[in-house]
């Protein structure tokens, strides 16, 4: 399974379906954040070696693929259902497909598994952290701090499209504080700033 349903394959699909740079970067950012929770859960479950790598890979892939159909099919009737149907035809695991469906409130799919909760929890937060980085003079995620993020969450005029309640609910679903959730995702994005295009000018 690792060869067919790898993060690399998911990235290929994202690039095939999505031509816009900002939506591609969003997929990458959500993937990086979701992957961290995959690592934490693999550790909690005592997984190691190839088993852990496969497990974490599904988290990373779900993040990359969750909005893959949004550019072509942005309506509530089609997204994420078109993408999920295409992934199902390719044989992607149901765990990934269910997580993608569950990230959309209107899909009717409950968030029950850890992956489903992690993807939902990371979606809005990854976008918010990107916005926090881009308003820095350096445009670097490495200059963003947890306290600053929490402050900006209270500013309704900042990144107003981001649903703060989803970030709060996501943390709750994962059993962590908002501060810890922000810290987990921020550290993950900072570690891969270049890949996300958020290394800025420093």
CATH classification of 7-196 is 1.10.3470, yes or no?
no
Q: Note the pLDDT of residue 178.
A: 97
pLDDT average, residue stretch 66-91: 94
Distance of CA 134 to the CA centre of its chain: 18
Predicted local distance difference test score (pLDDT) of residue 105: 85
Which tens digits make up the pLDDT trace of 82-116? 999 999 999 999 999 999 999 988 888 889 999 99
Confidence of residue 201 (pLDDT cuts 50, 70, 90): confident
User: 110: exposed, middle or buried (C-beta count within 10 Å: 0-12, 13-18, 19+)?
Assistant: exposed
Q: What percent of the chain has pLDDT over 90?
A: 91
Spans of all domains in the chain: 7-196
Confidence class for position 4, pLDDT limits 50, 70, 90: low
- Model pLDDT, residue 5: 67
How far CA 163 is from CA of 133, 149, 153, in Å, comes to: 18, 14, 9
pLDDT at 1: 39
pLDDT in tens, 175-187: 999 999 999 999 9
Calculate mean pLDDT across residues 160-171.
94
From residue 113, alpha-carbon distances to 57, 96, 177 in Å are 16, 10, 19
pTM value? 0.94
pLDDT confidence band for 2 (50 / 70 / 90): very low
- The string of pLDDT tens digits covering residues 141-153 is 999 999 999 999 9
Q: Is the dihedral of CA 34, 36, 45, 14 positive or negative?
A: positive
């Amino acid at each position: 399974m690792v060869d067919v349903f790898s993060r690399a394959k998911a990235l290929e699909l994202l690039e095939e379906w999505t031509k816009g740079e900002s939506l591609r970067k969003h997929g990458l950012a959500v993937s990086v954040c979701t992957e961290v929770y995959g690592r934490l859960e693999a550790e909690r479950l005592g997984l190691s070696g190839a088993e852990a790598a496969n497990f974490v890979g599904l988290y990373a892939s779900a993040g990359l693929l969750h909005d893959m159909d949004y550019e072509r099919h942005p309506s509530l009737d089609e997204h994420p259902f078109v993408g999920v149907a295409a992934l199902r035809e390719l044989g992607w695991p149901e765990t990934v497909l269910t997580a993608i469906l569950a990230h959309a409130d209107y899909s009717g799919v409950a968030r029950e598994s850890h992956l489903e909760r992690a993807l939902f929890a990371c979606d809005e937060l990854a976008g918010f952290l990107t916005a926090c980085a881009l308003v820095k003079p350096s445009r670097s995620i490495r200059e963003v701090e947890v306290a600053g993020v929490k402050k900006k969450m209270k500013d309704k005029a900042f990144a107003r499209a981001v649903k703060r309640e989803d970030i709060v609910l996501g943390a709750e679903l994962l059993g962590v504080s908002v501060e810890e959730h922000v810290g987990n995702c921020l550290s993950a994005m900072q570690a891969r700033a270049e890949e996300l295009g958020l290394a800025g000018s420093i």
